Amino acid sequence: MMRLIHELALYEKAPNEVVATEQTLLSHGFGENPLFVSWVAELDGHIVGMALCYIRYSTWKGPILYLEDLVVTESHRSKGIGKLLFEKCLDYAKTQGYPRMIWQVLDWNQPAIEFYKQYQASFDAKWLNAYIDF
């Protein structure tokens, strides 16, 4: 999974932004109180795709599923792997009774935008992302 996370950071032009480690993922996602759920796509014993989600709380909607990352290694794109992972997330949200799944996509990532349009996704132009790093 870390290899894919680094590949995504490079694709998104932020290779030096990754500070999480394999140990971070193991302790936060696979420990006693996991902070996220994830799925991987494996081919010939190698992980070629992943989706990582967590529960976010909306005062208007209640718990919703937030898709943090959906990534397929470049050599395996356009083969239906992203579709399978995305639909796994959608199915999970529905079976858990969440009224919404949300995610972000960079405005220049046209292949991803076109992928999400296939699902009649809504794109919100009214909200700006804000954050503070510590």
Catalytic residue among 57, 66, 116, 119: 116
For the question of residue 57 being annotated catalytic, the response is no
Q: Which amino acid is at 93?
A: A
**Cβ–Cβ under 8 Å, residues 83 and 112:** no
Q: Alpha-carbon distance 68 to 102, whole Å?
A: 9
In the three-class reduction of DSSP (H, G, I as helix; E, B as strand; rest coil), residue 82 is classed as: helix
Q: Alpha-carbon distance 31 to 108, whole Å?
A: 36
Residues assigned a catalytic role: 116
